[in-house]
Chain A
Amino acid sequence: MEFKFDMEENKEQIQAFREFLDSKKDTPGPLMPSLQRAQDVFGYLPKEMLEVISRKLSIPMAEIYGVATFYSQFSFIPTGRNKISVCLGTACYVKGAQSILEEIETQLGIKSGETTKDEIFSIASARCVGDCSIAPVILVNEDVYAKVKKDDIKEILSKYN
Chain B
Amino acid sequence: MITKEKLFEIREKIKPSLVENLLEGDRVEFRGEDLVLKGEYYKKQVRIALKNCDIIDPTNIDEYIAFDGYFALLKALTELEPGDVVDEITESLLRGRGGAGFPTGRKWNEAYKYQADKKYIICNADEGDPGAFMDRSILEKDPHSVLEGMALGGYAIGSDQGYIYVRAEYPMAVKRLQIAIDQAREYGLLGKNIFGTGFNFDIELRLGSGAFVCGEGTALMESIEGRRGMPRPKIHRTAHKGLWGKPTIINNVETLANVPVIMNKGAKWFRGIGTEESPGTKVFALVGKVENAGLVEVPMGMTLREIVFDIGGGAQDGKEYKAVQTGGPSGGCIPAELIDTPVDFESLGKIWSIMGSGGMVVMDENTCMVDIAKFFLDFSVEESCGKCVPCREGTKRMYEILDRITKGEGVEGDIERLEELSETVSSTSLCGLGQTAPNPVITTIKYYRHEYEAHIKKKSCPAKSCKALIKYEITEGCIGCTRCAKVCPVVAITGKVKEMHHIDQSICIKCGACYDVCPVDAISII
Contact = CB atoms under 8 A, between A and B. Distances in A.
Interface of A: 28-33, 35-36, 59, 66-67, 70-74, 88-91, 93-95, 99, 126-135, 142, 150
Given A33-B206, A71-B210, A133 B226 contact: no
B367 interface: yes
Nearest to A72: B210
A29 B131 contact: no
A32 B206 contact: yes
Contacts of A99: 511-512
Given A90-B361, A91-B361, A99-B511, A127 B207 contact: no
Contact of B226 (A30, A73, A88, A131): A30
A29 B225 contact: yes
B170 A90 contact: no
Contacts of A88: 130
A60 B131 CA distance: 38
15 contacts: A32-B209, A32-B226, A35-B209, A88-B130, A90-B287, A90-B325, A90-B361, A91-B288, A93-B130, A94-B289, A94-B367, A128-B132, A132-B288, A135-B287, A135-B288
A133 B209 contact: no
Interface string B115-141: 000000000000111111100100000
Nearest to A142: B171
B98 interface: no
Contacts of A150: 513
Contact of A29 (B226, B325, B511): B226
Nearest to A149: B516
Contacts of A59: 226
B169 interface: yes
Contact of B133 (A28, A36, A66, A130): A130
Contact of A72 (B209, B228, B325): B209
B293 interface: yes
Interface of B: 127-133, 136, 168-171, 206-212, 223-230, 244, 285, 287-289, 293-294, 325, 328, 359, 361, 363, 367, 372, 375-376, 379, 383, 385, 511-513
- Most chain B beta-carbon contacts within 10 A, residue among A59, A74, A91, A130: A130
Contacts of A93: 130, 375
A95 B288 CA distance: 7
A29 B133 contact: no
Contacts of B212: 127
B312 to A, nearest CB: 11
A136 B228 CA distance: 31
In this complex, the member of B129, B133, B294, B383 whose beta carbon has the largest number of chain A beta carbons within 10 angstroms is: B133
Contacts of B325: 90
B206 A66 contact: no
Contact of A28 (B171, B244, B361): B244
Contacts of B207: 32-33, 36
B5 to A, nearest CB: 36
Contact of B359 (A32, A36, A90, A142): A90
Contacts of B210: 71-73, 127
Contacts of B129: 128
| Residue of A90, A132, A134 with highest tally of chain B CB at under 10 A | A90
Contacts of B328: 90
A129 B210 CA distance: 11
Contacts of B209: 32, 35-36, 71-74
Contacts of B363: 94
A133 B128 contact: no
A88 B329 CA distance: 13
Contact of A70 (B131, B206, B211, B379): B211
B253 to A, nearest CB: 12
A35 B168 CA distance: 13
A126 B244 CA distance: 31
Given A67-B226, A91-B130, A127-B212, 5 more contacts: A71-B210, A72-B211, A89-B130, A91-B293, A134-B293
Contacts of B512: 99
Contacts of A128: 128-133, 169
Given A70-B228, A130-B127, A32 B132 contact: no
Contacts of A91: 130-131, 287-288, 293, 361
Nearest to B211: A71
Contacts of A89: 130-131
A32 B205 CA distance: 12
A35 B325 CA distance: 36
Given A36-B209, A73-B209, A94-B289, A132 B226 contact: no
A36 B211 CA distance: 14
Nearest to A64: B226
Contacts of A72: 209-211
Going nearest first, the 8 A-B pairs with the smallest beta carbon separation are A31-B226, A130-B133, A89-B130, A71-B209, A132-B287, A90-B131, A73-B210, A133-B293
A103 to B, nearest CB: 9
B367 A132 contact: no
Contacts of B361: 90-91, 94, 132
B293 A129 contact: no
A104 to B, nearest CB: 14
Contacts of A74: 209
Contacts of A73: 168, 209-210
